[in-house]
Amino acid sequence: MKKVWVMINKTLFKIIVLFPLFFILSCSNNSNDQVMEKVGAQIDSGFELPNLDGQEVNISNYKGKYILINFWATWCKPCVRELPSLENLQSNFNAENFEIIAIHIGQTKDQVRSFLIEQGITLNVLIDEDITLSNWMVEAIPTTFLVNKEGIVEYRYVGEKDWGSESVISFIQSKIN
């Protein structure tokens, strides 16, 4: 009986203390002035997630254009604060050459859709309810990747960023051209 009680206490400790601590610490508020760090890794061409309409979208559908992939969640304050700047960034580029994909982690499409409508956000959003972050080596959110036309992850940035700033727009413009 004592063993069972110890196991229950350990489980409760994990749920009450460690789980919330993970979510608090996993939100990054990086204030680094660097635009993005160089990576150079091939993405999994089979990576597929549903959009808000429930249709599966394969990341390879975007081959031939640069894509900025942003991992975020509604409960992550830095993530939510940077969403308008991601919209601003998208408005500076032609969708034929560059697109932003915001991958939401951990909630259903209906929950995310309601949040986006409430916030007035119109970004292209995919839903990752199962939190498959390990495929992308995401350790904290928001984390953002710039993927080139050949499907190579060229750059990564961890933390909140003003994606609509002149330096970011110039940086991405220099990569696209």
With 0-12 CB in 10 A as exposed, 13-18 as middle and 19+ as buried, what is 8?
Answer: exposed
The DSSP element (H or E) to which 124 belongs, if any, is strand 124-128
6 or 86, which is more confident: 86
| Least reliable range by pLDDT among 24-28, 37-41, 46-50, 146-150 | 24-28
Q: Tell me if residue 68 falls in helix, strand or coil.
A: strand
Which residues are bridge partners to 49 per DSSP?
57
Taking the complete model, does pTM exceed 0.85, yes or no? no
> Above 90 in pLDDT, residue 1?
no
**Cβ count near 84 (within 10 Å):** 16
Q: Please, what are the domains in the chain?
A: 2-176 (3.40.30.10)
Averaged pLDDT, 148-175: 93
> Above 60 in pLDDT, residue 9?
no
Averaged pLDDT, 122-150: 88
